[in-house]
Structure 1
Amino acid sequence: MSITGAEWLARSLAASGQTHVFFVDAVLRPTLLALSRLGVKPVLAHTEKAAVYMADAYARVSGRPGVVAAQSVGAANLAAGLQDAFLARAPVIAMTGRKVAAHQHRNAYQEVAHAPLFQAVTKFAAEVAAADELPQRLRQAWAAAVSVPARPVHLDLAGLQAEVIEQGQVAAPPAELGALTAPRFRPAPDPQAIEQAAAVLARARRVAIIAGDGAALSACGAELLAVAGKLAAPILTTLGARGLVPTTHPLHAGVVGSYSAPPANRIAAGADLLLLVGCDSGDQVTHGWRVPPAGTPVVQIDADPSEFDRSYPADVAVLADPRAALAALAAALPDAPRDPGFLQDAQAQLAEWRAEIAPRLASEAVPIDPARLCAELSRALPEDAILVADTGYSGIWTGTLVEITSQAYLRAAGSLGWAFPAALGAKCAAPDRPVVCYCGDGAFHYHMPELETARRLGLAVVVVVNNNRGFGQGWPNVRRVAGNDSDAAAEILRFGESADFAAIARGFGLHGVTVERPGDIAPALRAALARNETTVLDVRTDIESRAPEASIPGG
């Protein structure tokens, strides 16, 4: 018995465990209505990028692909939103309508070629010209999305609103793809490679570990601590892997690279061998490929073979799921006590920096020092919370000063404004967990209309806006370029009189609180976390307060 493409797609997504599908009208209308009848919530967003950001965070939290859709006219906007998911290795299935073949190359209204738009931000893309192609194409796209490296995929569905696919007939039974989660495969390492890695690591006196986004996807925190314990090695992470091990653990040494606190890069540079675990060795994690210094020996573990020798030669390459490889490595390493000198030196550097930053964490300054805001957030976050941080300064503040013990940490891979829609997507994936969004005022301006989405769907997230009336990260640089003329610099980067985000939230029927004094942060956070609705905390901060700056070993 055949059913319509709309019914087949809806039944397949429901059977595969999807709880939400994100979209901007007008696309897949019969499918969305069928999904609603089946208990899957269609989430109407106000922009295609916001819809993608929701699907992105939904995927990162759930391990299942986030599904997002837009009609033909919105395809370009949707493609632009996929950049963050691509960079962060998040499985997202993007579906777009596409005008029928007879209308192509004839100046069809508001349509441009879709394939070039999606080429740079997907790992797989295919056209679906008829409904009976859906079973094969959806399975192929889903499997590609969750396989290493997990990344977005694109299905271009025939019809402006995908109506050709929805109205056609499918004879196959609905697909059940829920077993395919990211990472889909966890290949075991070659025993010879583990033996070689263990021998090299055992000989080295000063080993540092850098765990990256691939390690976070593998969820290998326990195995990482076991290996680090045997090697007496400090663990550094990328921003995306923050929280893989508790930041308060004695082996944890912080985020390394461009968004790090000062000790992290010095610790990495002081190692005589680096163990890279699921780490892509890009310019941010290496601070412009200066950390580690050229010539530092590297043992590299990764599930993606294309990451070996990309930026640093791998003296030993272990192709495997990081969790499987680390478990095998821990068993292969000798149990003999290690010289703890390098680890103790790293811990001393961290303790010295923490003592140096401590006065700012307790600052009573007005406007508020964001360091104090981070300290209060560390104390307020529930153990099962999800902290969603925006890019730029939000990533640096939270990546260096907010302690993550048992909480989850999601960060923007580079798209300003990502965090608030992403927080809503995270809440959809984990409705019983507290979700806190940390963003600057520049970022929050991007997607404020999604406050209406939060209200309509009854989603409760806490939005902490670090409101310094401008783009704070670049402020001193622009002022310097302007010859220390603050008025000229302000014309470039300041927003003038601050928006009243608390009042804006109330205008959307939500709760909003303005926080102007440090002593009011803690009670505001407690009250916001206790509310069963989205709450915006408009925290008035000082643009002159600088986040911790990464060190450049050697000057």
Structure 2
Amino acid sequence: MNGAEWLARSLKDSGQTHFFFVDAVLRRTLLEMERIGVQPVLAHTEKAAVYMADAYGRISGRPGVVAAQSVGTANLAAGLQDAWLGRSPVLALTGHKPIGHQHRNAYQEVAHAPLFAPVTKHAAQVHEAADLPRQFRQAWSAAVSAPPRPVHLDLNGLMGEFVERSTTDEPPAALGAWVAPAHRPMADAASVQAAARALLSATKLAIVAGDGAALSGCGAEVLALAEALRAPIATSLGARGMVPTRHPLHVGVVGNYSSPPANQVVHAAELVCFIGCDTGDQVTHTWRVPKPGVRVVQLDADPLEFHRSYAAEVTLLGDPRATLAALVAAVGTPARDGGFLAEAQALMAAWRREVAPRLASDAVAIDPARLCAEITRALPADGILVADTGYSGIWTGTLIELEPSQTYLRAAGSLGWAFPAALGAKCAAPDRKVIAWSGDGALYYHLPELETAKRRGIAVVLVVNNNSGFGQGWPGYLKQAGNRPRAAEQVLRFGPTDFAAIAGQFGLKGIRVERPQEIAAALAEALASNETVVVDVATDIEARAPEPWTPQEGA
């Protein structure tokens, strides 16, 4: 068969339901995919297409597949940054001008390898269909192995046409069983015993579970370890919801996007157990939480994460879920002092009392905290919540309560990620309800994907935290501007825009919400729809999200 047939059938046989792209690329393959039941999703920008594939990969565990022709390659590579940082399996396919056209000022051609090097773990050129089966299997395997990350195949021809037209004798690949995490090795027995001894020796012990733990699906094992050790659990933002956020052992997200208790608890610990957590600046509040010199036990499937920021007393190289099962057995049922846990629970209870009035606020303009409370009540038991970066991540990561049966996806840093990502998540999980939380500033990035949602019949609830500006930086910048508030407005304010009305122009339902009492009914109506609905919530730009607790200098 020719390369177009082989690729289309391999995607189908591997369980892929959608293929995200920007024209013009792999046109023969697209026709074959449509014929055999893989849905091509044409996006309006390469970055939006990548964000769709990113969330598709996070939800399905299989690589989200995205493609663009030669001239769109730079845009596609830029979009892979979030998938790289978020440890998401993505297979990027691009066309390139034929070898004979290279280094001759060919129209629209730039070198692809340097663009993809920082955001892929594997890359290869495919010259003809005979090379495709081997390269496809290798790329897929690399994408789902620990840590899962994007891979890139650069296909011969502006639109990959040389690979499509040439032939291969190999049967289509069926790789659907290869999902992230593809392998679950357990740490060696000696390390498990050493870790158990270290954990049992600490009275003030905190557990920090990260994105790698969420990927491993080890929420039950984390809880079992914490219950045995009577240890509070904090998570990274990306691991929000892997354990019930209302559980008595849970103290919230730790780091820069934190409510106060988590940072206080982790900073006070004498030993911190990092589970699938990268110890970067966001999760450690710029390496201040936990405090430098703290004792550390670190469990990760990626050995490159060990000792990055904190010297570990014990390291366990293995899949978190598989290794935690052994570690829980090694710890057993010891008698433990519950004083540190009681202190953590008191901090959490005090903070919940403090924030409760805002969760019930009837203020107009609307306090986003009230919007968080309404989404907590509305999100179905198996719902998916997709959040943008910045304040969207802080609001949702601190004030929306989640259960492990629900899924929380967050942007790893790129503004505008949430809405197209929500479309990709829905493609991967058509029977689950998806709510996207986007600020108005983020939505302007990919507003045209409302047309994609309408055309392809992808149904998500797009909640717009609409405060007519970039709320996270607004009060500080206004203060900095002093007696020139107009100058601050020119930098960080825009609109006002009625996104509900704009949704109507795309043929979609839009609901404008201007009073907090209207939120619940709007969310219920939107969740009942079989099309994308925009819930445009007029919020207060002066409202402040929870701020992280910060240790005093030198503490």
- Identical positions, percent: 68
- Between the aligned partners of 1:335 and 1:183, the Cα distance in structure 2 is 30
Q: Cα deviation per residue 1:136-167 (whole Å; 9 max; x = unaligned)?
A: 10011000000001000000000000000000
**Is the partner of 1:185 in helix, strand or coil?**
coil
- Between the aligned partners of 1:481 and 1:118, the Cα distance in structure 2 is 39
Conserved? CA contact 2:48–2:446, under 8 Å: yes
Per the alignment, residue 84 of structure 2 pairs with 86
Per the alignment, residue 242 of structure 1 pairs with 240
- Counterparts of 1:355-504 in structure 2, within 5 Å, are 355-405=353-403, 406-483=405-482, 485-495=484-494, 497-504=495-502
Per the alignment, residue 19 of structure 1 pairs with 17
- Counterparts of 1:123-162 in structure 2, within 5 Å, are 123-162=121-160
Q: Which moved more, 1:171-180 or 1:93-102?
A: 171-180
Per the alignment, residue 328 of structure 1 pairs with 326
Q: Cα deviation per residue 1:45-81 (whole Å; 9 max; x = unaligned)?
A: 1100000000000000000000000000100000000
For residue 189 of structure 1, report the CA deviation from its aligned partner: 1.2
- Between the aligned partners of 2:94 and 2:332, the Cα distance in structure 1 is 54
**Is the partner of 2:445 in helix, strand or coil?**
helix
- Between the aligned partners of 1:542 and 1:507, the Cα distance in structure 2 is 26
User: CA 1:357 to 1:485, structure 2 compared with 1: closer, same or farther past 3 Å?
Assistant: farther
For residue 274 of structure 1, report the CA deviation from its aligned partner: 0.2
- For 2:510, the aligned partner's letter is G
- Between the aligned partners of 1:429 and 1:97, the Cα distance in structure 2 is 25
Q: Cα deviation per residue 1:238-290 (whole Å; 9 max; x = unaligned)?
A: 00000111101111110000000011100100111000000000000001100
Matched, 1:537 2:535: yes
For residue 340 of structure 1, report the CA deviation from its aligned partner: 1.0
Per the alignment, residue 268 of structure 1 pairs with 266
- Between the aligned partners of 2:168 and 2:340, the Cα distance in structure 1 is 63
For residue 19 of structure 1, report the CA deviation from its aligned partner: 0.6
- Between the aligned partners of 1:130 and 1:313, the Cα distance in structure 2 is 48
Conserved? CA contact 1:48–1:77, under 8 Å: yes
Work out which of the residue numbers 169, 172, 184 in structure 1 matches 2:170: 172
**Is the partner of 1:447 in helix, strand or coil?**
coil
Per the alignment, residue 291 of structure 1 pairs with 289
**Is the partner of 1:368 in helix, strand or coil?**
coil
Per the alignment, residue 276 of structure 2 pairs with 278
**Is the partner of 1:23 in helix, strand or coil?**
strand
Work out which of the residue numbers 224, 227, 232 in structure 1 matches 2:225: 227
TM-score normalised by length of structure 2: 0.99
- Between the aligned partners of 1:9 and 1:368, the Cα distance in structure 2 is 50
- Between the aligned partners of 1:484 and 1:363, the Cα distance in structure 2 is 31
Per the alignment, residue 523 of structure 1 pairs with 521
Conserved? CA contact 1:417–1:445, under 8 Å: yes
**Is the partner of 1:126 in helix, strand or coil?**
strand
- Between the aligned partners of 1:195 and 1:443, the Cα distance in structure 2 is 47
**Is the partner of 1:247 in helix, strand or coil?**
coil
Conserved? CA contact 1:10–1:31, under 8 Å: yes
- Between the aligned partners of 1:518 and 1:180, the Cα distance in structure 2 is 45
Q: Cα deviation per residue 1:161-218 (whole Å; 9 max; x = unaligned)?
A: 0000000011111111111100111001100000000001001001100000100110
Q: Cα deviation per residue 1:389-442 (whole Å; 9 max; x = unaligned)?
A: 000000000000000113110000001000000000000000000000001000
- Between the aligned partners of 1:177 and 1:246, the Cα distance in structure 2 is 33
**Is the partner of 2:119 in helix, strand or coil?**
coil
Q: Cα deviation per residue 1:32-54 (whole Å; 9 max; x = unaligned)?
A: 11111111101111100000000
- For 1:289, the aligned partner's letter is W
Matched, 1:256 2:254: yes
Conserved? CA contact 2:229–2:334, under 8 Å: no
Conserved? CA contact 1:21–1:68, under 8 Å: yes
**Is the partner of 1:260 in helix, strand or coil?**
coil
TM-score normalised by length of structure 1: 0.99
- For 1:494, the aligned partner's letter is R
- Between the aligned partners of 1:397 and 1:335, the Cα distance in structure 2 is 37
Conserved? CA contact 1:202–1:334, under 8 Å: no
- Pairwise CA RMSD of aligned residues? 0.8
- For 2:431, the aligned partner's letter is D
For residue 12 of structure 1, report the CA deviation from its aligned partner: 0.8
Conserved? CA contact 1:255–1:400, under 8 Å: yes
Per the alignment, residue 354 of structure 1 pairs with 352
- Between the aligned partners of 1:532 and 1:14, the Cα distance in structure 2 is 25
**Is the partner of 1:113 in helix, strand or coil?**
coil
Consecutive unaligned residues of structure 2, counting only runs of 5 or more, are none
Per the alignment, residue 118 of structure 2 pairs with 120
- Between the aligned partners of 1:483 and 1:202, the Cα distance in structure 2 is 54
- Between the aligned partners of 2:519 and 2:441, the Cα distance in structure 1 is 20
Conserved? CA contact 1:442–1:470, under 8 Å: yes
Q: Cα deviation per residue 1:458-496 (whole Å; 9 max; x = unaligned)?
A: 11100000000000111122123212642221111000x
**Is the partner of 2:244 in helix, strand or coil?**
coil
Q: Which moved more, 1:237-246 or 1:336-345?
A: 336-345
Aligned residues between the structures: 552
- For 1:274, the aligned partner's letter is V
- Between the aligned partners of 1:487 and 1:357, the Cα distance in structure 2 is 32
- For 2:275, the aligned partner's letter is V
- Between the aligned partners of 1:315 and 1:535, the Cα distance in structure 2 is 51
Consecutive unaligned residues of structure 1, counting only runs of 5 or more, are none
**Is the partner of 1:545 in helix, strand or coil?**
coil
Q: Which moved more, 1:471-480 or 1:271-280?
A: 471-480
**Is the partner of 2:386 in helix, strand or coil?**
strand
- Between the aligned partners of 2:334 and 2:282, the Cα distance in structure 1 is 35
Per the alignment, residue 301 of structure 2 pairs with 303
User: CA 1:253 to 1:98, structure 2 compared with 1: closer, same or farther past 3 Å?
Assistant: same
- For 1:430, the aligned partner's letter is A
Matched, 1:102 2:100: yes
- Between the aligned partners of 1:97 and 1:16, the Cα distance in structure 2 is 22
For residue 334 of structure 1, report the CA deviation from its aligned partner: 3.3
- Between the aligned partners of 1:430 and 1:175, the Cα distance in structure 2 is 23
**Is the partner of 2:264 in helix, strand or coil?**
helix
Per the alignment, residue 504 of structure 2 pairs with 506
Conserved? CA contact 1:465–1:539, under 8 Å: yes
- Between the aligned partners of 1:348 and 1:95, the Cα distance in structure 2 is 52
- Between the aligned partners of 1:105 and 1:466, the Cα distance in structure 2 is 48
- For 2:196, the aligned partner's letter is A
Matched, 1:28 2:26: yes
**Is the partner of 1:431 in helix, strand or coil?**
coil
For residue 531 of structure 1, report the CA deviation from its aligned partner: 1.1
- Between the aligned partners of 1:160 and 1:499, the Cα distance in structure 2 is 40
- For 2:126, the aligned partner's letter is V
- Between the aligned partners of 2:458 and 2:467, the Cα distance in structure 1 is 27
- For 2:519, the aligned partner's letter is I
- Between the aligned partners of 1:105 and 1:479, the Cα distance in structure 2 is 50
Conserved? CA contact 2:52–2:425, under 8 Å: yes
- Between the aligned partners of 1:65 and 1:110, the Cα distance in structure 2 is 28
Conserved? CA contact 1:260–1:550, under 8 Å: yes
